[in-house]
């Protein structure tokens, strides 16, 4: 990633912070009060105000404006004014307070202030909000009767669903300005002037009575899309004297469309469905499909990709219009889908799928033409549309390969040659971050061409490598020319470094040189200490370090079911979050939901007891049945701490059901975005592997090769280990033990790991061993213990019984089963407070500090 894009990403990350939270941190809430979706109060510039309501923070668009003095801006401008600082200092303050993990990257940039903005576009956005607020209800009154008739009778929209959309009656512009001027009659001349200048018409003039707002990714209105109120459009003459027939659409002049339409409603969505029509996105969102965006009458562009990146969207489904073929046979929607797929696959990290527009049809009358998702919904119903979106998408790489074959007659040698040239060019442009694209493309090309997989793969890979080398040489040439023209050797070195990083990712540059001193110096500059677990018995002290979790290696946490494997991982996870505030820790939970794990974290953080037997469930019950302001103070504090840490990207919990390929791809993307401390995976036996994980193998071949869980886990372990080394990130992975106390199903997991820890219950014999070796100092205290019945597995209260299978309830044994550069079979005792899920070096209040083996017989 080049420096320009990196800086843009940092800005976008900061702009996503809620402006209300920024105002809270700036102590502005003393002068602001809530009014619907706006915080109103006196202006931040401290001028006088008759009612103390001229200044507003807009939650929806993440901006502020003053209707008295006209000042307005985004969160950067808010910090500049509140703290009386320059743009760079405002950025730094936001990073330090909300995104501290970005500080190291931020320090690398020479920050220049953006172009001066007098706040007019934010005032314009606020005025547009008032237009929506006032004239949307009029669509359902006498004034909007004709506009509503068009939507209900001609577009067949449900009237109740329409009320959940932002369609509005758009009266003549003179009426709109009159309303705004009356509303702001007591405000300053600046606002009155901006009302006069407000863009309300487009090229086709004041001829449309139906509209909806266009919002950017943050929700700020940038203008209006206007619609004629009849299906065929309007016949009109424009200001330049030209006559037009069938004009259906217009937009206010100056409308910004740099973000996909409706993207602001897709926050926290993993995937988006990209359609052409704006009405499709509006209406289907209101009907319960929350992740639809639209490109409008234009094509998907590179500008749109920035908004997609800023929302961390993982998957895009292209579903463009089913237009009727033109005279030359081209179907516009299909051609537009080709362009969109090519752009997304080459320029983004999003996984792309396509629905062939020609699949849209009436289910009851297949001969009836259905043009777009909007019509498909009206024709077939909501459930049918949901099924269509769920079942019809196919891999974009397959789509591309099939489309190339469609365009050529492969029985003609000339066309076949053209086909291979276009196919090779298309394959070379595929983003290598998702290697499954290449496999899908090759498989579809094999099917279409009839050639063997080996022939196709060799042809395409050879062309791709040639193209990459040619591109690299061109980049080197341009870098040298620019650097020599400027006589700037530093610029050349920086440019060559970026080129090296860019093309090494494509595995073009394979350095065979070995330099002992260079490698040694590089290693000495790295952090070689590793990560602490938060347990002193494992970590040691500052004066005497013991063990560490290796970065760039796999650590296995193994245990029998129910002993505390997940609890140990959760404790290490929380300890590391506290220990390393500049890093992000990721927990992939494959066994339970993110919600369940989050409540466990609250339990662990709160450290309060509501129920000795089921404390987490008791906390959930308390939180559900008690008003937030009356929550237990420990729970409140835990929730607030975790909320702050999550909002600062200190941790993320992901419960997506990934296969191993998707998992490592997700880790790669996270590694690019955040300063990753460690990745937790709970647990390996839950990971799956599909046929795409091994290039060139069919499902039947896969089923034979991975006929047993051992073989499946062997491959999964290998994939995780290889990617861990490449990304230089610590991976801490849970694993179950079998009855013999070995890692279940595959000792390959054991051999691939750098460190293997097991957690187990502490038996009387183990406690005697530890005491005898002087690692555990006995005292005359009573201990709670149980007797494990070896046959039934049931636990019962024990009477006086000196047998070795007595188990101490409030202890767990942590054992290093394997450690590279670490002595294996080290044993450590941890205090275990089960109901609050806590493991520690020290006992909780009221818990036995130490146990004398002889006192095990004394039961409380």
Q: φ, ψ for residue 374 (rounded to 5)?
A: -60, -50
Tell me the average pLDDT across 458-467.
84
- DSSP-assigned states of every residue in 75-103: HHHHHHHHHT--HHHHHHHHHHHH-GGGH
Beta strands 63-66 and 55-58 are antiparallel
795 or 128: which carries more pLDDT confidence? Answer: 128
Q: What's the token pair of residue 580?
A: 């390393």
Sign (positive or negative) of CA dihedral 541, 547, 553, 554: negative
Report in angstroms the alpha-carbon separations of 524 from 497, 530, 675, 730, 804: 21, 13, 20, 19, 49
Q: What is the pLDDT of residue 778?
A: 44
Mean pLDDT of 806-810: 74
What is the average per-residue pLDDT within 188-206? 93
- Average pLDDT over every residue of 849-853: 42
Helix H, strand E, coil C: the string for 844-859 is CCCCCCCCCHHHHHCC
Residues paired with residue 294 on neighbouring β-strands, in sequence order? 261, 275
Share of the chain above pLDDT 90, in %: 37
Instruction: Give the least confident one: 132-146, 252-266, 569-583, 644-658.
Output: 644-658
* Domain locations in the chain as residue ranges: 3-118, 157-170+190-398, 547-755, 756-857
Alpha helices per DSSP H over 277-356: 278-286, 302-310, 332-347
Angle (CA) 329-333-336 rounded to 5° is 105
Q: Is the Cβ–Cβ distance between 778 and 852 less than 8 Å?
A: yes
- Out of 1.10.10.10, 3.40.50.300, 3.40.50.1010, 3.40.228.10, the CATH code matching 547-755 is 3.40.50.300
For the record, the structure tokens of 383 come out as 């459930």
Rounded-to-integer distance, Cα 568 and Cα 834, Å? 11
| pLDDT given at position 831 | 83
A 10 A CB-CB count for 837 gives: 22
Query: What is the strand order of the sheet 72-73 is part of?
Result: 32-35, 38-41, 55-58, 63-66, 72-73
The CATH superfamily holding the domain 3-118 is: Zinc finger, CHC2-typedomain (3.90.580.10)
How much is the pLDDT for 113? 66
Alpha carbons 60 and 218: distance in angstroms, whole number = 7
- Of the listed ranges 273-282, 368-377, 553-562, 642-651, the least confidently predicted one is 553-562
At 677, list the tokens. 């401390």
93, 81 contact by CB (below 8 A): no
The least confident of 545-549, 624-628, 739-743 is 739-743
What digits encode the pLDDT tens for the residues 662-683? 788 788 778 767 888 999 988 7
Q: Which residue, among 26, 33, 41, 25, has the nearest Cα to 84 in the 3D structure?
A: 26
User: How would residue 720 be classed by pLDDT, with cut points 50, 70 and 90?
Assistant: confident
CA atoms of 191 and 193, how far apart (whole Å): 5
Q: Can the peptide bond before residue 683 be classed as cis, meaning omega within 30 degrees of 0?
A: yes
Q: For the residues 611-632, what does the mean pLDDT come to?
A: 91
Measure the CA–CA gap between 764 and 762, rounded to whole angstroms.
7
Per-residue pLDDT at 859: 28
* Contact assessment for residue 536 and residue 732, using Cβ atoms and an 8 Å cutoff: no
Helix (H, G, I), strand (E, B) or coil at 269: coil
**Which residue, among 159, 135, 22, has the nearest Cα to 77 in the 3D structure?**
22
| Higher per-residue confidence, 255 vs 754 | 255
Confidence of residue 539 (pLDDT cuts 50, 70, 90): confident
CB atoms within 10 A of CB 715: 18
Confidence at 511, pLDDT banded by 50, 70, 90: very low
The answer, yes or no, to whether residue 514 has pLDDT greater than 50, is yes
Give the range with max mean pLDDT: 29-43, 234-248, 541-555. Answer: 234-248
Residue 491 has pLDDT above 90, yes or no: no
Average pLDDT over residues 724-746: 68
Give residue 815's pLDDT: 84
For 289, half-sphere exposure in the C-beta direction (CA atoms, 13 angstrom radius) is 25
- Nearest Cα residue to 451 out of 423, 426, 425: 423
- Mean pLDDT of all residues belonging to the chain: 81
Task: Indicate if the pLDDT at residue 13 is higher than 50.
Answer: yes
Q: Which spans in 609-708 are helix H?
A: 615-625, 633-647, 660-673, 699-705
Residue 840, SS3?
strand
CATH number corresponding to 157-170+190-398: 3.40.1360.10
Q: Are 223 and 251 in contact (CB under 8 A)?
A: yes
C-alpha angle 172/175/178, rounded to 5°? 150
Q: By mean pLDDT, which of 262-266, 600-604, 718-722 is the weakest?
A: 718-722
- Max CA-CA distance within the chain? 105
Q: Return the pLDDT at 507.
A: 41
3-class DSSP assignment, residue 521: helix
pLDDT at 74 over 80: yes
**Phi, psi angle pair for 577, to nearest 5°:** -60, -40
Low-confidence winner among 202-211, 628-637, 751-760 (lowest mean pLDDT) = 751-760
DSSP 731: E
């Amino acid at each position: 990633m080049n420096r320009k894009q990196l800086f843009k990403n940092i800005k976008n990350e900061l702009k996503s912070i809620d402006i209300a939270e920024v105002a809270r941190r700036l102590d502005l809430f003393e002068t602001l009060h809530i009014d619907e979706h706006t915080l109103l109060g006196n202006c931040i510039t401290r001028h006088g105000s008759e009612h103390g309501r001229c200044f507003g923070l807009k939650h929806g668009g993440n901006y502020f404006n003053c209707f008295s003095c006209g000042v307005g801006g985004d969160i950067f401008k808010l910090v500049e004014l509140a703290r009386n600082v320059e743009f760079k200092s405002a950025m730094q303050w936001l990073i330090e307070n909300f995104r501290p993990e970005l500080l190291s990257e931020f320090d690398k940039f020479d920050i220049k202030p953006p172009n001066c903005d007098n706040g007019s576009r934010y005032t314009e956005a606020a005025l547009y909000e008032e237009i929506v607020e006032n004239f949307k209800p009029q669509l359902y009154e006498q004034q909007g009767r004709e506009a509503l008739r068009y939507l209900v009778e001609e577009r067949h929209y449900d009237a109740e669903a329409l009320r959940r959309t932002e369609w509005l009656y758009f009266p003549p512009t003179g009426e709109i300005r009159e309303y705004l001027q009356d509303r702001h009659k007591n405000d300053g001349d600046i606002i009155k002037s901006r009302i006069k200048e407000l863009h309300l018409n487009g090229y086709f003039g004041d001829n449309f009575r139906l509209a909806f707002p266009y919002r950017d990714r943050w929700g700020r209105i940038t203008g209006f899309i206007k619609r004629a109120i009849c299906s065929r459009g309007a016949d009109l003459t424009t200001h330049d004297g030209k006559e037009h027939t069938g004009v259906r659409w217009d937009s206010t002049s100056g409308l910004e469309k740099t973000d996909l339409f409706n993207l602001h409603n897709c926050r926290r969505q993993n995937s988006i469905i990209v359609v052409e029509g704006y009405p499709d996105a509006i209406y289907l969102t209101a009907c319960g499909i929350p992740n639809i965006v639209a490109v409008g009458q234009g094509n998907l562009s590179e500008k749109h990709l920035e908004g997609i990146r800023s929302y961390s969207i993982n998957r895009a489904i292209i579903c463009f219009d089913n237009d009727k073929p033109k005279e030359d046979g081209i179907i516009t929607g299909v051609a537009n889908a080709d362009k969109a797929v090519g752009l997304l696959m080459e320029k983004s990290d999003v996984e792309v799928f396509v629905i062939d527009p020609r699949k849209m049809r009436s289910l009851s009358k297949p001969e009836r033409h259905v043009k777009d998702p909007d019509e498909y919904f009206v024709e077939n119903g909501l459930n049918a549309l949901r099924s269509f979106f769920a079942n019809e998408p196919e891999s974009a790489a397959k789509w591309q390969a099939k489309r190339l074959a469609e365009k050529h007659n492969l029985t003609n040698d000339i066309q076949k040659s053209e086909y291979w040239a276009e196919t090779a060019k298309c394959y070379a442009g595929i983003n290598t971050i998702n290697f499954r694209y290449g496999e899908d493309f090759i498989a579809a090309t094999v099917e279409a061409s009839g050639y063997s997989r080996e022939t196709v793969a060799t042809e395409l890979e050879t062309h791709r490598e040639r193209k990459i080398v040619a591109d690299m040489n061109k980049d080197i040439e341009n870098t040298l020319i620019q650097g020599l023209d400027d006589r700037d050797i530093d610029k050349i070195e920086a440019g060559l470094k970026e080129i090296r990083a860019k093309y090494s990712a494509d595995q073009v540059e394979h350095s065979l040189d070995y330099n002992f001193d260079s490698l040694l110096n590089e290693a000495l500059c790295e952090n070689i200490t590793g990560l602490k677990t938060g347990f002193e018995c494992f970590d040691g002290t500052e004066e005497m370090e013991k063990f560490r979790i290796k970065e760039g290696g796999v650590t296995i946490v193994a245990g029998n079911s129910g002993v505390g494997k997940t609890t140990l991982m959760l404790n290490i996870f929380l300890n590391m979050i506290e220990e390393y505030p500049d890093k992000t820790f990721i927990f992939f939970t494959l066994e339970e939901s993110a919600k369940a794990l989050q409540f466990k974290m609250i339990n662990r953080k709160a450290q309060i007891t509501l129920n000795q037997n089921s404390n987490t469930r008791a906390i959930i019950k308390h939180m559900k049945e008690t008003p937030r302001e009356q929550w237990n103070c420990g729970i409140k504090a835990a929730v607030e701490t975790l909320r702050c840490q999550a909002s600062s990207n200190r941790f993320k919990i992901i419960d997506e059901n990934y296969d191993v390929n998707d998992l490592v791809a997700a880790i790669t993307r996270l590694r690019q975005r955040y300063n990753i401390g460690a990745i937790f995976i709970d647990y390996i036996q839950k990971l799956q592997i599909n046929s795409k994980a091994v290039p060139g193998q069919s499902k039947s071949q896969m089923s034979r090769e991975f006929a047993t869980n051992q073989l499946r886990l062997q491959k999964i372990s290998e994939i995780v280990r290889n990617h861990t080394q490449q990304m230089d990130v610590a991976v801490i992975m849970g694993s179950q033990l079998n009855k013999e106390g070995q890692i279940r199903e595959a000792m390959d997991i054991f051999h691939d790991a750098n460190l293997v820890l097991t957690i187990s219950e502490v038996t009387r014999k183990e406690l005697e061993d530890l005491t005898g070796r002087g690692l555990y100092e006995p005292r005359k205290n009573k201990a709670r213990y149980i007797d494990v019945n070896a046959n039934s597995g049931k636990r019962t209260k024990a009477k006086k019984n000196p047998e070795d299978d007595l188990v101490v309830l409030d202890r767990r044994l942590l054992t290093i089963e394997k450690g590279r550069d670490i002595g294996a079979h080290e044993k450590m005792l941890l205090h275990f407070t089960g109901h609050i899920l806590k493991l520690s070096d020290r006992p909780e209040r009221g818990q036995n500090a130490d146990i004398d083996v002889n006192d095990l017989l004394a039961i409380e």
